[in-house]
Amino acid sequence: MREGPHSTEDINESVGGDLFDRYFTGEHTLTKVAPRTWFVMADYVGLTAFETDEGLLLVDTGTAESAETVHELIRKETDAPLHTVVFTHGHLDHAFGLKPWLDAGEKPRIIAHENLPRRFRTYMKTAPLNSHINSVQFGISEGISWPHEAGEFAWPDTVYQERLTLNLGGERFELFHAKGETDDATWVWAADRKIVCGGDLLAGILPNCGNPQKVQRYPEEWADALEAIASVGADLLLPGHGKVVQGAEVIRERCLNTAAALRAIVEQTLAGLNAGKIHEEILATIEIPPELAKNWYIDPLYDRPEFIARNVIRKYGGWWNGYSSELMAAPMPQRAAEIVKLAGGVEQLAARARELKDSDPALACHLAEWAALGAPESREAHECAIEVFEARAEDEIALMARGIFNHAVRRSEEALEALDEEQGS
């Protein structure tokens, strides 16, 4: 990629493949995307360094694991003192890479939205929960430590509410609050350079706005933010994930089309709620309009439209799904054991699950999980669950769904190991 503000080659290339092909490269790269402007990709996270006459402005700092490498990459390009750090949000992959800078004696001011400290405090309360969620979603060992002590966080010394203007070395940088994947999001408009740092608001995939295991997301406000970004006329968009986007028209189109996809999901979900439909009926009808879905940058590689719809339901409605028996339900293992009996035994239930594996994988998963829960001492049940959920995961393109299906596989594999140990003893 050549230096200069608008001389990059193939910067807007369409990328196919799954999420790992796009983001999880395992590489750390630094690219000069404009004069005195560097974009760093650290594994799968993007962050930006702006050199000004007063010093460096860092937009995000990456992960703790990549921090040393990021620091070295930037310091090879500039020795300007670190003046200001802006966090686009408080997630683990964006706001935990400041330590090498501080260890080197830098004393930057740290700026974030006023909701970010609350997010940090929530992390402190829920470290084991977040570790467990990562183990399910990504297959990461629960032994990995999640930050939970106050000293592990880079607390902002400056917070703002809706908008903040920074003047650094005679240049103007505008900070705007947004709600999207989080309620503490910030996007940065480097007006004099015509560059937007979008954080996680535009990442080249369907927005992560539904996540089955995480807190509330905000599809309507996310669409608002994308439309606002589209309106400023940026020549470059530097994302928190994915590739740099070049060209005002390209940026505008991607932002507006992604916003339109989110609004379509919201409108369909609200229409179903207002019509008195139960959740299952609503989810079965959710569809991104074909003229939007055809765009590769709206591929559901991480989240799924029906997951986003569930977040809309959670925002506007209650948690009851519409089936009366589910209001105060019997424990799932108890229900599953009864289903095993009604099926005539675990062998029959497992056989039917395998029969449906290809023609109706969703139903097959129900049967396989009932077998595993209803007959936890049965090798046949767990072998069936492994087979059915492995097949479902292999056919699924959304990373979050695939992670949960693979979690079911691991549970049954662990159950088989435990059975082997019991028999061996």
Q: 423: pLDDT confidence band, cut at 50, 70 and 90?
A: confident
| Nearest residue to 140 (alpha-carbon basis) of 42, 28, 242, 24 | 24
Residue 20: predicted pLDDT:
57
Residue 140: predicted pLDDT:
72
**Interior angle at CA 395, CA 243 and CA 293, nearest 5:** 50
The domain ranges of the chain are 19-262, 330-424
| Nearest residue to 380 (alpha-carbon basis) of 410, 412, 405, 418 | 412
CA distance 309 to 300: 13
Q: 236: pLDDT confidence band, cut at 50, 70 and 90?
A: very high
Q: Is 416 exposed, middle or buried (0-12, 13-18, 19+ CB in 10 A)?
A: middle
Beta bridge partners of 51: 56
What does pTM read for this prediction?
Answer: 0.91
Average pLDDT value for residue range 109-124: 97
Does the pLDDT value for residue 10 go beyond 60?
A: no
Q: Determine contact, residues 359/391, Cβ cutoff 8 Å.
A: no
Q: What are the C-alpha distances in Å from 297 to residues 17, 257, 260, 307, 379?
A: 11, 9, 13, 18, 43
pLDDT one-digit tens code per residue, 19-53: 556 565 567 999 999 999 999 999 889 999 999 99
Q: Is 203 helix (H, G, I), strand (E, B) or coil?
A: coil
Residue 2: predicted pLDDT:
22
Residue 425: predicted pLDDT:
61
**Higher-confidence position of 25 and 154:** 154
Residue 381: predicted pLDDT:
98
Q: 14: pLDDT confidence band, cut at 50, 70 and 90?
A: very low
What's the CATH architecture for 19-262? Answer: 4-Layer Sandwich (3.60)
Average pLDDT value for residue range 395-423: 94
Cα-flanking dihedrals φ and ψ of residue 408, to 5°? -65, -40
Q: Determine contact, residues 389/409, Cβ cutoff 8 Å.
A: yes
Please give the helix or strand (H or E) that residue 145 lies within, else none. Answer: none
Q: Determine contact, residues 238/244, Cβ cutoff 8 Å.
A: yes
Does the pLDDT value for residue 295 go beyond 80?
A: yes
CA distance 256 to 252: 6
Q: What are the C-alpha distances in Å from 230 to residues 19, 201, 307?
A: 25, 12, 25
Q: Give the least confident one: 54-68, 134-148, 317-331, 381-395.
A: 134-148
pLDDT one-digit tens code per residue, 296-323: 999 999 999 999 999 999 999 999 999 9
Q: Determine contact, residues 385/343, Cβ cutoff 8 Å.
A: no
Residue 17: predicted pLDDT:
46
Residue 146: predicted pLDDT:
84
